[in-house]
Structure formats: structure tokens, C-alpha cells
């Protein structure tokens, strides 16, 4: 199976920076930029400015994950896409997750 990890470049503070990201994370960061009506470079610069100890590609993955988790909380969709408001939602507590 071919790797979905691709090197991409963005400009941060006037310098070209290489990122190694899976297609799914790249698509999500582009969507976040579209929603915020800013460039991908601007979103990545914000992530870069606030990251702690991880490399930039890892920081982007964590940012995307946290963004998607927050979106899930707003729509009441829990893990595995189960609506937490449904009667069956309660059976998917932490002790019952696969």
C-alpha cells in the first residue's frame, strides 16, 4: 500500500518550511483555513507560534485532532459517530469502547 504521507511546503515568516503530513490532515487544515477565511500558511503560523515541544507536523496533527473533537462536541456526536443524545449513546461510555 502506498504511503499517504506527503511532503508539502508552506511559507512561515517569509521562509519556506517543509511539512510531512498525511493527506487527511492536509485536507482538514485546508478546510480549517477555508472556514476561517485565511491562508493555510496563516493557520500553520498560528500553530507554530503556540506549539510547545513537538515538531511542527506533529503539532498540526494535534491541532486538527483537537479541532475535530471540538466540532464533535458542538454537534453532540461522540466517539465512533454515535449521537450522545440518543438512547443508545449512553452504552458507549469509556468502559465499553472497543
Percent of the chain with pLDDT over 90: 60
Burial class of residue 24, CB neighbours in 10 A (0-12, 13-18, 19+): exposed
Q: Among 2.30.30.230, 1.10.30.50, 1.10.3990.20, 3.30.920.30, what is the CATH number of 5-96? A: 1.10.3990.20
pLDDT at 37: 97
pTM, full prediction: 0.70
Strands 15-22, 5-12: parallel, antiparallel or unpaired by DSSP?
antiparallel
Would you kindly state where each structural domain of the chain is located, as residue ranges?
A: 5-96
Q: What CA–CA distance (Å, rounded) separates 76 from 43?
A: 26
Q: How far apart are CA 93 and CA 52, in angstroms?
A: 31
Measured distance CA(16)–CA(9) in Å, rounded? 6
* Span 46-76, pLDDT tens digits: 999 999 888 999 999 999 999 999 888 776 5
Amino acid at each position: 500500500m502506498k504511503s499517504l504521507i506527503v511532503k508539502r511546503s508552506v511559507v512561515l515568516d517569509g521562509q519556506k518550511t517543509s511539512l510531512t503530513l498525511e493527506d487527511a490532515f492536509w485536507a482538514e487544515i485546508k478546510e480549517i483555513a477555508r472556514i476561517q477565511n485565511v491562508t493555510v500558511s496563516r493557520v500553520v503560523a498560528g500553530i507554530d507560534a503556540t506549539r510547545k515541544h513537538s515538531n511542527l507536523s506533529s503539532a498540526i496533527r494535534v491541532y486538527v485532532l483537537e479541532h475535530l473533537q471540538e466540532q464533535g462536541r458542538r454537534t453532540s456526536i461522540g466517539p465512533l459517530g454515535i449521537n450522545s443524545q440518543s438512547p443508545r449513546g449512553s452504552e458507549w461510555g469509556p468502559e465499553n469502547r472497543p
